[in-house]
Amino acid sequence: MAIAKRKGLKSSETYILFSNSLNRFYVGQTSNFTERFERHNKSMVKSTKRGTPWKLVVKFEVASRRESLALEKKIKGRGAKRYIEDNSIKFGM
């Protein structure tokens, strides 16, 4: 797991999760990562309930929700796996 910090006050986070059972990545953003991660792993999120348990790959702390949404869109546009490779983020599947 890697945590990458961006400049500014922490008010939002963009994250990438991985499910071994599905062999898939999930990209999301939240203002409360701990609570959101719990919800993913308790099958309380429709889009991730089949992939439990989810592992945190990387989490970016950013200054605003706007910045978090922009980063989420950028990662999804590139694809999480490619984004991880392009940015040399260490992650063992």
Whether 49 is covered by a domain: the verdict is yes
Q: Identify the pLDDT of residue 44.
A: 96
Residue-wise pLDDT tens digits, 2-50: 555 555 455 899 999 999 999 999 999 999 999 999 999 999 999 999 9
The CATH number of the domain holding residue 33 is 3.40.1440
How does DSSP assign 9-55, residue by residue? ---EEEEEEEETTTTEEEEEEES-HHHHHHHHHTT-STTTGGGPSEE
Residue-wise pLDDT tens digits, 46-82: 999 999 999 999 999 999 999 999 999 999 999 999 9
Q: Residue 30: give the domain boundaries.
A: 2-86
Give the span between the Cα atoms of 11 and 35, in whole angstroms. 14
Whether 40 is covered by a domain: the verdict is yes
pTM listed for this prediction:
0.86
Cβ neighbours for 48, distance < 8 A, ≥ 6 positions apart: 17, 19, 26, 40, 54
